[in-house]
Structure 1
Amino acid sequence: MKSYGQFCPIAKACEALGERWTILLIRELLCGSRRYNDFKRGLPLISPTMLSQRLHTLLERGLIERKRSNDQRNWEYHLTQAGHELEPIVMGLGEWGARWVRSQMSQDDLSVELLMWDMRRTINSEALPDGRTVLHFEFKDLDEKYKNWWMLAENNDIDLCIDDPGFDADVIFISDLKTMTQLWLGDTTLSNAQSAGKLDVRGAISLTHHIPDWFVFSGFANIKSGLSKGDTID
């Protein structure tokens, strides 16, 4: 990124963080992503070349470090102290965005890959029964490639699958991408979506009655709009 030619710390911070995808890559690291494929799932539109460039830049700037995984088979990326200190800044941007620019969201901003990845990393597996729990999400408005998703929760670990894992689902969510995104962002509720006929939840009562305990929504879901009109996705 070209220098602003200013000694102001704000200008220098913008030079370090202002390139496309950089802040979102920091977001992924703050949310627990460590490996290249994790970053691709959280940032599905970033090209492999761009992702490699951004990781290299963050390494050069001392915001991340690269380490071998515990099994020594893969490289992992971890935030340094400088990177961790960005957490309140990044979360503050998220809160500001939830409060002031939700009205600017459009259909083009809907991403089933990001939605499912976000939900996968926030499911409270400790509130699920012992053993394997299978969650099936069916998006009626998407083509066959992205229509069905599964989450397999077992031993406090959750796998996200786009191919049928071959196990019977314990809970099935049938909806459209817009409604599930609104639900995730707190722009609608389970009961409202179901009453409007936009969400069908099927499964064991022991699980469906306790959805709020294990289905944790976006960390920005409770932030109210600062605008006078409702700000849901158009």
Structure 2
Amino acid sequence: MKTYSQFCPVAMAAEIFAERWTPLIIRELLMGSRRFSELEYGMPRIPRSLLTQRLRTLEDAGVVTRKAQGESKRAEYHLTEAGADLLDVVMRLGEWGQKWVNHDIGLGNVDPTLLVWDMHRRVNIDLLPEERVVVQLDFHGAAKGTYWLVLEKPEPSVCMWDPGFEVDLFVATDTIAIHRAWMGMTSFAECVEDGLIELDGLTAHVKAFPGWFKLNVFSGVERVVNAG
């Protein structure tokens, strides 16, 4: 690990927290990811070797602990008290980024895997129907791909491969449009009206679909346009 060789607590904290990918690893652990594969879903572009290296560094720093769970002894990663104490740091960083970083959603930053992973953990459980609903999302445009959301109580899941269930609702979406809607830059209804998102299924499912999800946790932060 490179150091600043300064006694300042900001410098010492940055040596641990501010390495590339580390804030996103902390974000994923704070959002409930525990297994290595779950961390990869939240950061699909990180090399596996680098993720392993960063987790070891965080373990050595006392931020993350690695535990063997179940009969399979599969490794799970949990934040320590010191790691959980970074919640406010991550939230403030995300709010600052949403407010002040002058950006829009485009070809360079769309990530359907992260989007669908985020959607599955932002489900309004209480608003789901009693029966299981399988949603197939087909992305086109800036990035292509097909994913499935299995929406059922008490725990929805996301599938990167066909889960083998009959699909109840098909969602065909322009990739950039649904990312912008997810981040609160436009509305889901506007995307549907403009033909950028198309839904095909039972009328009840089509009407209810937008309400089944809370938007991204930072979507409600007011953005400052053309920040200098």
Report the counterpart of residue 192 of structure 2 in structure 1.
Answer: 194
Give yes or no for the alignment of 1:168 onto 2:166. Answer: yes
Report the counterpart of residue 96 of structure 1 in structure 2.
Answer: 96
Report the counterpart of residue 73 of structure 2 in structure 1.
Answer: 73
Report the counterpart of residue 47 of structure 2 in structure 1.
Answer: 47
SS in 2 for 1:107: coil
SS in 2 for 1:181: helix
Report the counterpart of residue 220 of structure 2 in structure 1.
Answer: 222
Per-residue deviation, 1:136? 1.1
* TM-score (normalised: structure 2): 0.92
Runs of 4+ in 1 over 4 A off after TM superposition: none
Give yes or no for the alignment of 1:116 onto 2:137. Answer: no
2:176 alignment partner, one of 175, 178, 191: 178
Q: Is the 8 A contact 2:188 2:210 kept in 1?
A: no
Q: Is the 8 A contact 1:126 1:156 kept in 2?
A: no
SS in 2 for 1:37: helix
> Within 2, Cα distance between the matches of 1:169 and 1:123?
18
Which residue identity is paired with 1:163? W
Which aligned pairs between 1:17-56 and structure 2 lie closer than 5 A? 17-56=17-56
Q: Sequence identity of aligned pairs in percent?
A: 37
Q: Is the 8 A contact 1:141 1:147 kept in 2?
A: no
Which residue identity is paired with 1:22? T
Per-residue deviation, 1:211? 3.0
* TM-score (normalised: structure 1): 0.90
Which residue identity is paired with 2:185? D
Which residue identity is paired with 1:215? F
CA RMSD of aligned residues (A): 1.9
Gaps of 5+ in 1: 230-234
Count of residue pairs the alignment pairs up? 227
SS in 2 for 1:118: helix
